[in-house]
Structure 1
Amino acid sequence: MSPSKLSVVVAGGGSAGHIEPALAFADAVRRLHPHAEVTALGTERGLDTQLIPARGYPLELIPPVPLPRRPSGDLLRLPGRVRAAVSRVREVLDKTGADVVVGFGGYVALPAYLGARGRAPIVVHEANARAGLANKVGARFAAAVATAVPGSGLPGEQVVGMPLRRAITGLDRAALRAQARAHFGLPADGPVLLVFGGSQGARTLNTAIAAALPGFVDARVAVLHAHGRTGTAAAPAPGYVPLPYIDRMDLAYAAADAVLGRCGMTTVAEVTAVGLPAVYVPLPHGNGEQALNAEPVIAAGGGVLVPDAELTGERALAELLPLLTDHGRLAAMGAAARASGHADADERLARLVFEVLAR
């Protein structure tokens, strides 16, 4: 790229699942093009005002436009809702002299795509196996469409993976193992199972771990359990460390030998990037994208899928104890998990954007 000024606007506000890949991409742009200016679009709703300024990026607020998850009668009312948001987006594009708009889905992305159309090239990134409404609209007039996994249904998709923080993709688990275990108060030796289901926890996972914990204790398997701020921990037991939330996921991954968790795209991408085998339990709600997110990892031999309704304490022990007590299988599944991921997705997406600008 030219050393001249480059202005990139990212639209990934709302949830952490949209914000984190947008910021990881922004970090990659700055690494590869030090003269670039990156501006984030967001709203006062969600986590935008907490996460984006903390990472050092200017945040421009636009009116929120909640989107129906599927085409419905609500679509007829969207034009009135988006008009003010689109107008505000255009103000930001003029103010920043935007050269390109990169959207990551969600209710910030749709007005960004509509506001940028005809003014700046658009690049769409879809994190899930099934595209959301905003990205379905944006992909129709985008200069390029990137996806985390194949089969999104978006036209002209290019699979680049899920952009992740360098703290995750550059993690040396072996080097940090002792420090990580000491940080959480875990045993220095022996296998460790990491269990998490998102910031609010997951009742199915919590219930299964509570039932399985005596079996893990008997097998001398330690458990690091993020039960969620509204979830419930299991009864105290040797080697069991319950936390409402883990704010140092890098250390949690370094301490662990295997994972039991949901399969949102960020979770799948991080777990594969660090090379951990996993038992994935997809959310039983939504349009089924969580199970699809994990499909490439399962096919590669880096994980196992257990339906939510089938996860009991007995099933958790049956799937995880043989794995956690077999060093060879742990290593083989971990290598398969890593090979199925895209640890360089942040820079792959950045280079795709540069190619669009070069054209």
Structure 2
Amino acid sequence: MTGAAGDPDHGGMDNLSVVVAGGGSAGHVEPALATADAVRRLRPDARVTALGTEKGLDTRLIPARGYPLELIPPVPLPRKPNADLARLPYRVVRSVRRTREVLREVGADVVVGFGGYVALPAYLAAASMRLPIVVHEANARAGIANKVGARFAREVLAAVPGSGLAGARVIGIPLRRAITDLDRAGLRAQAREHFGLDPQAPVLLVFGGSQGARSLNEAVSAAVPALTAAGVWVLHAHGPKNEPTVEAPGYVPVPYLERMDLAYAAADVALCRSGAMTVAEVSTVGLPAVYVPLPHGNGEQELNAKPVVDAGGGVIVPDAELTGEKVAELVTGLVEDPARLAATAEAARRSGHAGADETLARTVLDVAGHVGASATGRT
């Protein structure tokens, strides 16, 4: 193998060096780490380095998964003209300079970006060094960073159609194997015991992200009397700063779900937001869902859930229409009809993309010119 393209100072490293740029939020970090895991499965000799920032979840999630983290200055992209916009050129130059240093230090062969604060400088640095770039867009509408990166990329991939990236190949979202290989039926008894749930009763799982979601919390609290009266148990992740407002037998509130795999295994139906990662995980494990898109932003959350809902894997309820009565009606209607519940679960599972991690990893290896090297020797 020669040095990194256009960069003679490759450091004399022999192994494939992949840099993933997905820091800033779990929605960017998790697909990056799932891809990193898949690269290592396919090429155990590969060196994978993650770019991130001191803010957000990067410093906690990335080292915990066993990957070296290189910190670079974040480049948040203002949506409106303000003082941050005036400082943007300086921030970009500083961050690109630091990113180029990292790419040289690790002898990067390919850069894989997932959007977010670190992706833009990663794309610009890699392009300036003539390194191959792969872009993955998780959301239904591409952000600015990935729109820029796609201009330089060898391969552009997306989770769903219509992302706004021309020629993007739709593969789904790379997910960790704890989710894609989850045996919900096999773990059901263990999961129910873990959370203190009835081993036989139908269970509704409610979660709104790591901090909870006020409208979901209010609606499920209002629905608890009707749900528990119908024999439905409720596992409710309300957020660490939100106290539950209701108590009832069969209602199990928790601040945060450390074991999402067990939560998915314990549940029969989910009530949740429809961020890209949430939709990808819930559909891949085959869990029927009531999706409540975040009412802010550019409407991408509804677009994230639409392919799953169109396939029959759940329903979308606008945030403004979410009430306790609506929740109780939808959930009891599903769990009281086993055939419909099973059909909805199967439709959700079929709409998922369980192999997206390896699809993206093989694309990365192909772009880097290293496919099959682990079996055939160095290329």
TM-score (norm 1): 0.97
Residue 286 of structure 1 pairs with residue 297 of structure 2: yes
In structure 1, what is the equivalent of residue 312 of structure 2? 301
TM-superposed deviation, 1:71: 8.3
TM-superposed deviation, 1:63: 1.2
In structure 1, what is the equivalent of residue 50 of structure 2? 40
1:117 counterpart SS class: helix
Q: Which moved more, 1:130-139 or 1:61-70?
A: 61-70
Inter-partner Cα distance in structure 1 for 2:24 and 2:205: 27
Matched to 2:132, the amino acid is: P
TM-superposed deviation, 1:70: 6.6
Matched to 1:7, the amino acid is: S
Stretches of 4+ aligned residues off by more than 3 angstroms = 69-77
Q: 1:92 aligns with which of 89, 102, 108?
A: 102
In structure 2, what is the equivalent of residue 243 of structure 1? 254
Q: 1:232 aligns with which of 243, 256, 264?
A: 243
TM-superposed deviation, 1:74: 5.4
Paired residues for 1:1-359 under 5 Å? 5-69=15-79, 75=85, 77-119=87-129, 120-358=131-369
Inter-partner Cα distance in structure 2 for 1:72 and 1:234: 40
Contact 1:69–1:132 under 8 Å retained in 2:
no
1:31 counterpart SS class: helix
Which digits, 9 at most, give the CA deviation of each residue in 1:157-202, with x for residues without a partner?
0111111110010000111100000000000111000000001111
Inter-partner Cα distance in structure 2 for 1:348 and 1:50: 27
Inter-partner Cα distance in structure 1 for 2:79 and 2:21: 18
Which digits, 9 at most, give the CA deviation of each residue in 1:118-165, with x for residues without a partner?
421111111100011111111111111111111001122011111111
TM-score (norm 2): 0.92
Q: Which moved more, 1:181-190 or 1:63-72?
A: 63-72
1:112 counterpart SS class: helix
TM-superposed deviation, 1:77: 3.8
Contact 1:42–1:108 under 8 Å retained in 2:
yes
Matched to 2:125, the amino acid is: G
TM-superposed deviation, 1:354: 1.9
1:320 counterpart SS class: helix
Which digits, 9 at most, give the CA deviation of each residue in 1:219-268, with x for residues without a partner?
01000000011223141111110001000000000000010000001000
Matched to 2:145, the amino acid is: A
TM-superposed deviation, 1:317: 1.2
Q: Which moved more, 1:297-306 or 1:41-50?
A: 41-50
Q: Supply the RMSD in Å over aligned alpha carbons.
A: 1.5
Inter-partner Cα distance in structure 2 for 1:48 and 1:224: 28
2:41 counterpart SS class: helix
Question: Percent identity over the alignment?
Answer: 71
Contact 1:206–1:232 under 8 Å retained in 2:
no
TM-superposed deviation, 1:67: 1.4
Matched to 1:327, the amino acid is: P
Contact 1:144–1:156 under 8 Å retained in 2:
no
Is the alpha carbon distance of 1:139 and 1:73 closer, same or farther for their aligned partners in structure 2, counting shifts above 3 Å? farther
Inter-partner Cα distance in structure 2 for 1:134 and 1:70: 16
TM-superposed deviation, 1:69: 3.7
Equivalent pairs, count:
357
Inter-partner Cα distance in structure 2 for 1:142 and 1:75: 25
Which digits, 9 at most, give the CA deviation of each residue in 1:298-336, with x for residues without a partner?
110001000000000011112111101111111100000
1:318 counterpart SS class: helix
2:152 counterpart SS class: coil
